[in-house]
Amino acid sequence: MLSKIQHFFQTLHRVTLKVSDGLTQSFRIGLVLLVLAYAVGMVWFIYFADRVSISNHTVLVLDLQGPLVEESPGGLRDKVLGELQGESSDSVRLRDLQMALALAEKDPRIDQVLLKLDDFKGAGLASLREAALAIEKFRASGKPVLAWSAGYDQRQYYLAAHASQVGVHPLGTVLIEGFGRQRNYYKDALDKLGIEANLIRVGQYKSAGEPFVLNRPSEQALKAEAHVYDALWKLYTDGIEHARQLPMGSVMQRIDSLPSALQAAHGDAGQLVKDWKWVDQLQTFEALRQNLMDTVGKDDEGKTFRQVGFRDYLQSQFKPVKGAHIAVIVAQGEIGDGRAPAGKIGGLSTADLVRSASEDEEVKAIVLRVNSPGGSVLGSELIRDQLRIAREKGKPVVVSMGDVAASGGYWISMAADQVWADAATVTGSIGVFAMLPTGEGLMRKLGVSTGGYRTTWLAGAYDPRKTLDPRVQALVQSGIDHVYADFIAKTAQARKLEVAQVDELAQGRIWTGAQAQAHRLVDQVGTFNDAVEAARQLAGQSDDKALPIKYRGPKVSKVQRWVQQFLMEVLMQADSGSAQSALKSWAQGGMPGSLAEDLIWLQALTEHTQAYTAAAHCLCQITP
């Protein structure tokens, strides 16, 4: 215990010196005093605090803040950046939500669940469906789930609709808009600037680079997106109508009739959705609190109802997994070549996790949970190859696809014994592209010329200041063609299909999980738990207790978690404008805003050390 405390203070000392570097002397002193003040309390909290005490007739409060994710982002820079920009760094892990509901279902101390959704930022439809299933399983135990929000967007409402009772503020409403997206197209703007995008791709449906070479979506892009969006929209509306016991097709009918219906309701949107039976109660949260105090009783201070937050509840129920188990590795986010913190995918770091699991004698099978639109081809192959090696060592590998497992996300799934997807998963996008922007026209407009001596044509052959050399374009096209051929060949081998069949299904086209199963691109449609059960069977065991699951990922200690939280609090309260500016500059390290989202594919290209490279990215993160 003493060594842990010493290590804690040493860590704080190093962090304090690093953060205070370049700041004024007075600010340094203040920062050190704050560190010491926090440290005294936090040492006791981290190492000596007892677990949460839970009384009978307690309400489990699921106050979901932030997006629903497979893995919480673990990078300090991202967290600080979010706070500096006024954005919450909170997120909710899907598995935590599922585990809390599963434990509470059998816990006699928990009477009911309150689902609070004001700050819930949603997720893809596949994740929402898994969370909704967990709510339904809890309700099947006979315990009610109460949902409340000041107002629901369609992501929040999908979960609320599966509750026993749905409440909304009298001035609130439910806004279900439908699926779709409008993208910016930059060709005219680039032409005016004298910049040429030079898109090189394989696959007529590989539309990731279209916004930079067209002024409107191509027919192929619209066709592919309509095929997927319509299928996802049906899954969404069917889920709502089934959960609320509404007539099939009624959600679409209500949306079509909204202008006249709201006018007839004299603009009272809350009463309108109550009349439509989308909600059960129009009530303030104070009224709900009072009702719960009357039904389950008051807390020890007598100020509110008896309750426990789901994170505190999970902490009180935590039991470490020991012995034989199934290793679960989460692959969430963009795929890069190197190492990445929790919540992102690095070719090297994720491959290392797979290698470690394959070499662990206690691991009897591996489940890879994929939620990624792709990225680096090299990073994707590093992960796929390690999964192949794990299988050769006798470790069964099962892939469970989440919201998105497309392009590079599909690539890393090909080495599995079985591939499972949700019906609403976005997958496929088997295609490759590269983009080499050049700005010779811009240089002319600026009156800037370029010249110099080179020993070979290849030295500095790709120069964004000059028109793209046809020989460079030929090199990149050859590389793209090779990667695509490799992609479809690996897919054909993994899926036991002819290469020509895969080529017809590929071409960069995206599919839902249900469509992908029909085309034999995945094996089964089902939940994460279904994939885990399949892994148990492949490992020769089906007893849940005999073969539990254990997540493997970058280890973050309690001290590290607290240091991150502490630093954010200190930095947000700092009076030094220069310190804020410097920290913001350090934290950003990139381009904020919608343009950065449009240019996200550049990360997969610019982070490579290779001269010419390709990206396997779908830009298809479709969220309700």
* Residue 200, CA distances (Å) to 186, 357, 400, 458 in order: 17, 38, 31, 19
- Listed residue (472, 467, 459) closest to 439, CA to CA: 467
Burial class from Cβ neighbours inside 10 Å (0-12, 13-18, 19+) for residue 68 reads: buried
- Listed residue (353, 350, 346, 358) closest to 389, CA to CA: 358
Check the CA dihedral 535-539-540-541 and report its sign.
negative
- Local structure of residue 58 (DSSP, 8 states): E
Helix/strand/coil (H, E, C) string of 203-242? CCCCCCCHHHCCCCCCHHHHHHHHHHHHHHHHHHHHHHHH
Burial class from Cβ neighbours inside 10 Å (0-12, 13-18, 19+) for residue 524 reads: middle
Q: What's the rounded Cα separation, in Å, for the pair 66 and 90?
A: 5
Q: What's the rounded Cα separation, in Å, for the pair 538 and 522?
A: 17
Give 405's strand partners. Answer: 372, 427
Q: What's the rounded Cα separation, in Å, for the pair 65 and 72?
A: 12
User: Under DSSP, is residue 244 helix (H, G, I), strand (E, B) or coil?
Assistant: helix
Size of the chain, expressed as the number of residues it contains: 624
Q: What's the rounded Cα separation, in Å, for the pair 379 and 359?
A: 21
DSSP string over 148-170 = EESSEEHHHHHHHTTSSEEEE-T
Q: How far apart are the first and last CA of the chain?
A: 48
> Please, are residues 321 and 207 in contact by the beta-carbon 8 Å criterion?
no
Q: What's the rounded Cα separation, in Å, for the pair 538 and 293?
A: 49
User: What's the one-letter identity of residue 113?
Assistant: V
Q: What's the rounded Cα separation, in Å, for the pair 497 and 338?
A: 32
> Please, are residues 4 and 35 in contact by the beta-carbon 8 Å criterion?
no
Q: Please list, in sequence order, all residues whose beta carbon lies within 8 angstroms of the beta carbon of residue 43, skipping any fewer than 6 positions away.
A: 5, 8
* Cα atoms found within 13 Å of the Cα of residue 290, Cβ hemisphere only: 5
Q: How many CB atoms lie within 10 A of CB 59?
A: 22
Residue carrying structure tokens 């129920």: 317
Active-site amino acid positions: 206, 407
Counts of helices then strands in the chain (DSSP H, E): 25, 25
What is Dmax (Cα atoms) for the chain?
85
